[in-house]
């Protein structure tokens, strides 16, 4: 039983920007009565890096690499979404093979993201074995992504006009082998989610967001689909190769964190099926078309179903080689407003898992680096060199000397 009746006043607790349960900065102000949350507000923006402005000073191709770095988890979502917008303005249709390859990487990315989430969810409820298991399995898909694209996180596979790397028949076999392992493991996790008492007790009825609130607050992705809002850009506004592939939109009506878990697990199974279809149906042909450096004046809105939900990019071109405006609306920004609703009248102890359940990504959401010493208000500049030297000094203090380490490394090669 909660103990809120023993308290006559609310206590305000700031959580963040260095948040105890998330790896990214954001700040919540929680009003508590006993253990119960009576009100909450969120302050975002700590990760705003001015990427949209920076894109205006860069060519479309340079912008593509910058945009890929909006997020370290759904990097492919952003680069595909941006490329689609530019290709639409230029009036270019990319080759079918390129569409399939983008879809393939997109689904592999979803698998890595959902497995990562499942691990974080396990960690937030004190079920760290689940974290260890899922992150171990996630390495399978990370290796596949590295083999196909050359990179584990920022894949660099997209180019405006298609993709940069083709897939070989040997790689196709490797993908199928990896998918088979992951499918077996995911079935085990689904079984776990349905029967394991820790998960059921800790996730059911926690972080409830009603169907009406999900619609009213424009929640997206698994957060919305767990409230019975059957929306998925892959189905509703198909892009890349999705119109030619068969898959179900997974949704449940439980409206809680447990539902969000089931939706993501179900989506993992759909992703495995999608990947098998892609491997068997991928058409032969070119993987990219060349686009002129200057993109004609125009505008386009591109959408993409990222692992966390609808990602939207708006691009306006002015006839030069640089865009006039690039706007990014990542899924977390759409979902964050639901969090206050989910926390209302709930326990403080549920807060980490409730926030984690929307799978927040604040880098995506904030897209600035302001260096200022708040104590003396002076403008303070830190260069990379200073940071590097500071790092070396800090490690020296810990008894680690890079000089001798470097020497050892050179000798061993």
Partner 1 sequence: MNEENIKQELENKFSYLKDAVIIKRKGRIFVAVELDKFDEVFAYAVKQMRFLALSAITGLDRGDAFEVIYHLNQEGRILLNLSVSLNRENPQINSVCPICPSADLYERELEDLLGIKVNGLAAGHRYPLTDDWPQGEYPLRKDWKAKISNQGVQNA
Which residues would be at the binding site for partner 1 (CB under 8 A)? 41-45, 48, 50, 52-53, 88, 215-218, 231-233, 236-237, 299-301, 303, 310, 312, 314, 316, 324-325, 327, 329, 333-334, 336-337, 366-372, 374, 377, 379, 381-384
- How far apart (Å, rounded) are the C-alpha atoms in residues 307 and 250? 13
**DSSP-derived 3-state class of residue 400:** coil
Contacts 24+ apart (CB under 8 A), 319-322: 319/294, 319/295, 320/294, 320/295, 321/59, 321/60, 321/293, 321/294, 321/295, 322/56, 322/57, 322/58, 322/59, 322/60, 322/63
Closer of 217 and 295 to partner 1 (Cβ)? 217
Lookup: tokens for 16: 């963040």
Kindly tell me which of 164 and 325 has the beta carbon lying closer to partner 1: 325
What is the SS3 assignment for 328-380? EECHHHHHHHHHHHHHCCCEHHHHHHHHHHCCCCHHHHHCCCCCECCCCCCEC
State the nearest-atom distance from the C-beta of 307 to partner 1, in Å: 17
Question: Rounded CA gap, 232 and 238, in Å?
Answer: 9
CA 130/CA 126 separation, integer angstroms: 9
Return the number of the residue (43 or 187) whose C-beta is nearest partner 1: 43
Q: Which residue's CB is nearer to partner 1, number 119 or number 331?
A: 331
Residue 247's contacts (CB-CB under 8 Å, 6 or more residues apart) are: 234, 235, 270, 273, 274
What is the distance between the alpha carbons of residues 42 and 47, in angstroms, rounded to a whole number? 14
CA-CA distances (angstroms) from residue 260 to 43, 224, 239, 277? 24, 9, 24, 26
| 215 versus 269: smaller Cβ distance to partner 1 | 215
Closest to partner 1 by CB, 23 or 377: 377
Is the Cβ of residue 148 or residue 361 nearer to partner 1 in the bound state? Answer: 361
| Nearest CA-CA partner of 302 in 361, 223, 230, 237 | 237
Nearest approach in angstroms of CB 384 to partner 1 is 8
CB of 161 to partner 1, least distance (A): 18
**Smallest distance, partner 1 to C-beta of residue 95, A:** 19
Q: How far is the CB of 187 from partner 1 (least distance, A)?
A: 30
Q: Rounded to an integer, what distance in angstroms lies between the CA atom of residue 57 and that of residue 322?
A: 7
Would you say 50 or 292 has its CB closer to partner 1?
50
CB of 228 to partner 1, least distance (A): 13
The answer to whether 189 and 199 are in contact (CB under 8 A) is no
Distance CA 153, CA 146 (A): 8
Q: Which is nearer to partner 1, 45 or 205 (CB)?
A: 45
Least CB distance from residue 54 to partner 1, whole Å?
A: 8
Residue nearer to partner 1 on the CB measure, 17 or 34: 17
On whether the CB atoms of residues 336 and 218 are closer than 8 A, the answer is: no
Is the CB of residue 218 less than 8 Å from the CB of residue 229? Answer: no
Question: What's the min distance (Å) between Cβ of 394 and partner 1?
Answer: 19
- By CB atoms closer than 10 A (0-12, 13-18, 19+), residue 283 is exposed
User: At its nearest, how many Å lie between partner 1 and the CB of residue 194?
Assistant: 29
The distance of closest approach from Cβ of residue 44 to partner 1 in the complex, given in angstroms and rounded to an integer, is: 6
């Amino acid at each position: 039983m909660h103990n809120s009746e023993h308290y006559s006043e609310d206590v305000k607790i700031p959580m963040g920007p260095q948040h105890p349960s998330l790896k990214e900065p954001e700040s919540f102000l929680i009003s508590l009565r006993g253990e119960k949350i009576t009100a909450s507000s969120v302050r975002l923006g700590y990760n705003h890096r001015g990427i949209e402005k920076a894109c205006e000073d860069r060519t479309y191709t340079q912008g593509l690499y910058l945009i890929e770095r909006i997020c370290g988890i759904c990097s492919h979502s952003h680069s595909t979404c941006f490329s689609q917008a530019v290709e639409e303005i230029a009036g270019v249709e990319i080759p079918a093979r390129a569409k399939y390859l983008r879809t393939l990487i997109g689904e592999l990315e979803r698998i890595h993201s959902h497995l990562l989430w499942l691990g974080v969810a396990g960690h937030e409820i004190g079920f760290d074995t689940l974290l260890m298991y899922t992150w171990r399995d996630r390495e399978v898909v990370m290796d596949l992504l590295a083999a196909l694209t050359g990179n584990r996180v920022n894949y660099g596979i997209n180019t405006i006009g298609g993709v940069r790397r083709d897939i070989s028949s040997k790689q196709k076999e490797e993908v199928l082998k990896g998918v088979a392992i992951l499918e077996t493991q995911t079935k085990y996790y689904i079984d776990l989610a349905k029967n394991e008492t820790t998960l059921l007790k800790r996730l059911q009825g926690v972080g409830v967001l009603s169907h009406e609130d999900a619609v009213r607050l424009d929640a997206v992705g698994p957060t919305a689909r767990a409230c019975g809002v059957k929306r998925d850009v892959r189905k509703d506004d198909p892009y890349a190769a999705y119109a030619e592939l068969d898959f179900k939109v997974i949704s449940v009506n439980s409206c809680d964190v447990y539902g969000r878990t089931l939706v993501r697990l179900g989506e993992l199974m759909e992703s495995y099926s999608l990947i098998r279809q892609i491997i068997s149906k991928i058409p032969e042909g070119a993987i990219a078309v060349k686009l002129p450096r200057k993109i004609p004046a125009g505008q386009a809105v591109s959408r993409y179903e990222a692992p966390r939900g609808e990602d939207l990019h708006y691009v306006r071109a002015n006839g030069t080689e640089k865009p006039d405006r690039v706007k990014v609306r990542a899924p977390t920004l759409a979902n964050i407003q639901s969090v206050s609703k989910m926390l209302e009248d709930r326990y403080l102890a549920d807060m980490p898992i409730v926030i984690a359940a929307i799978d927040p990504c604040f880098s995506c959401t904030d897209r600035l680096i302001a260096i200022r010493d708040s104590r003396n208000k002076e403008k303070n500049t830190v260069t990379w060199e200073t940071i590097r030297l500071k790092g070396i000094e800090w490690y020296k203090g810990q008894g680690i000397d890079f000089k001798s380490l470097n020497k050892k490394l050179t000798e061993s090669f």
